Structure 1
Amino acid sequence: MAERTLMLVLHDVAPETWPDYEAFVEEVDALGQVPISWLVVPDFHRRNPLDAHPGFRRMLDGRLGRGDELILHGCYHADEAPAPRTPRDWFMRRVFTHEGEFYPLGRDESAQRLEHGMQLFERSQWPLHGFVAPAWLLGPGARQALAGTNLTYTSDPSHFYLLPDYQPIDAPGLVWSARSAWRRGMSRVVSEKMLARHRQAPVLRLGLHPVDMRHDFSRRYWLSLVTRLLEDGRHASTKIDWLKRNVLVSSAAA
């Protein structure tokens, strides 16, 4: 695959996180045609129902008009299940993250939340191809429920997975832990090592979070990195456009 692609992905997109992203998005737009993949949460922490924010929805309508992609990102982005009972579940749900919404859910509850999000996209007339679970965590029940939808893909930090069979496709991603100064410093070191390792990778994903935008050090790193990758010859693309060009066409032909 000759084309080398950059994907800029904004996580946890909701009315309350938009002020974190707004100035950064303006700076990215000033670079030229850099399509963005937006991971949209239907009701972030049950306090951001998108139906109650018409102005925010109009902004997302405008992003679609620019060639961006909107992706379903959980339903509430909060782990509301009963307390974990095993050491592994305790680590995953209380140490690794408190927001792994789809990790503890069974198939039926997962299906209901997926349907809630898909109906929102349908009412809004937003094309929907992908789902990304909060913290990239899918439990067995959620995997079954997601396979039963008509969505095209999901992803984790290093792969795309074509649905319904979860066929893996290598897609390395960079992500920061930006909640403290030492974490931001280590994240920069790790990111630069990953960039060197994956310099020739066909696709490279940049996974940004609202907290990254709240610190000048991390926000400027991401903007500089987008600029560097474009100057290095990478083509910016949304997730679904890259999959259509490089994967789905060949899969259909096979």
Structure 2
Amino acid sequence: MAEAALTLVLHDVAAETWPDYRPFVEAVDAIGGVPITWLVVPDFHQRNPLEQQPEFCRLLDQRVQRGDELVLHGCYHADLEPAPKTPRDWFMRRVYTHEGEFYGLDEQAAGERLAHGLELFRRQQWPLHGFVAPAWLMSEGTRRVLAGSGLTYTSDPGHLYLLPDFTPIVAPGLVWSARSAWRRGVSWLVSERQLRQSRQAPLLRLGLHPVDMRHEFSRRYWLDVLERMLQDGRAPLTKIDWLRQYRQTSAVA
């Protein structure tokens, strides 16, 4: 790539999480020239259907017009499947997260939820290139559905994956666990270590969550690290714009 880049990614985007994000987004807009990738949930926890929130939909329209990217982020962002039956599944679905919506879905169920999201984006006339599963957890059925979806990419904490073949591209991602003071402290240490280890990475991703915005320490950190990366010369891009550059560079090579 011609220059190192960063992506600023907001997870769990819904009308009910927008009050958490709003002051941060306004601060980013004040910096200027930083596009945002928004991971949009069609019906957050089955209590927040996006199409029943016209004002918020208009806000997302405006963000697209500014050059931001909207990404499909599950359907409900909640694990609604029957109780886990194995120790591994219990750990993944009850300890690691309660929101791994696509972790246990078979191909038919995954296809139905993905189709719901695709149709929502179509009705809203929002360009759609990517899908990110809640908690980055996907069943084999989900992977098969994504391979045939026509979308360009998906991702996990360390990679972007080009579809339909899930070709991996190393793209380190910073993410915090901000629900308690000790978690925020550990997250700071881990993030700073990741930054040192990833100086040469072509793309670094900042993955923010609504809970990060509820604490001054974590909210301030994300603004600080964004400003540091910009000062270091990283170009701010959406995921899809970076991937377009990546493909052009790879084709030339």
Report the TM range for the smaller structure's normalisation: over 0.9
Instruction: Determine the structure 2 residue equivalent to 1:164.
Output: 164
The CA RMSD measured in Å over matched residues stands at 1.0
Instruction: Determine the structure 2 residue equivalent to 1:211.
Output: 211
- Secondary structure at the aligned position of 1:95 is classed as helix
Aligned length: 253
Separation of aligned partners in 2, 1:94 and 1:147: 28
Instruction: Determine the structure 2 residue equivalent to 1:183.
Output: 183
Q: Deviations over 1:215-251 (max 9, x none)?
A: 000000000111110011010000000000112x356
- Secondary structure at the aligned position of 1:161 is classed as strand
Give the Å deviation of 1:253. Answer: 6.6
- Secondary structure at the aligned position of 2:110 is classed as helix
Structure 2: segments with no counterpart, 5+ residues? none
Give the Å deviation of 1:2. Answer: 3.5
Q: Deviations over 1:6-34 (max 9, x none)?
A: 10000000000000000000000000110
Instruction: Determine the structure 2 residue equivalent to 1:37.
Output: 37
The amino acid that maps onto 2:195 is: L
- Secondary structure at the aligned position of 2:211 is classed as helix
Separation of aligned partners in 2, 1:252 and 1:44: 39
What fraction of aligned residue pairs are identical, expressed as a percent? Answer: 70
Separation of aligned partners in 1, 2:217 and 2:228: 16
The amino acid that maps onto 1:69 is: E
Separation of aligned partners in 2, 1:147 and 1:211: 32
TM-score of the aligned structures, taking structure 1 as reference length: 0.98
Instruction: Determine the structure 2 residue equivalent to 1:227.
Output: 227
Separation of aligned partners in 2, 1:11 and 1:55: 19
Shift of the 20–80 alpha-carbon distance from structure 1 to 2, 3 Å rule, reads same
Give the Å deviation of 1:146. Answer: 1.1
Instruction: Determine the structure 1 residue equivalent to 2:199.
Output: 199
Separation of aligned partners in 2, 1:80 and 1:88: 17
Separation of aligned partners in 2, 1:98 and 1:27: 31
Separation of aligned partners in 2, 1:140 and 1:96: 19
Could you list the runs of 4 or more consecutive aligned residues of structure 1 that deviate by over 6 angstroms after TM superposition? none
- Secondary structure at the aligned position of 1:246 is classed as helix
Instruction: Determine the structure 2 residue equivalent to 1:9.
Output: 9
The amino acid that maps onto 2:215 is: H
TM-score of the aligned structures, taking structure 2 as reference length: 0.98
- Secondary structure at the aligned position of 2:12 is classed as strand
Give the Å deviation of 1:184. Answer: 0.1
- Secondary structure at the aligned position of 2:144 is classed as helix
Instruction: Determine the structure 2 residue equivalent to 1:56.
Output: 56
Separation of aligned partners in 2, 1:121 and 1:135: 21
Separation of aligned partners in 2, 1:53 and 1:252: 42
Q: Map 1:81-92 to 2 at 5 A.
A: 81-92=81-92
Separation of aligned partners in 2, 1:29 and 1:136: 27
Q: Map 1:61-80 to 2 at 5 A.
A: 61-80=61-80
Q: Deviations over 1:85-118 (max 9, x none)?
A: 1111111101000000000000000000000000
Give the Å deviation of 1:148. Answer: 1.4
- Secondary structure at the aligned position of 2:207 is classed as strand
Structure 1: segments with no counterpart, 5+ residues? none
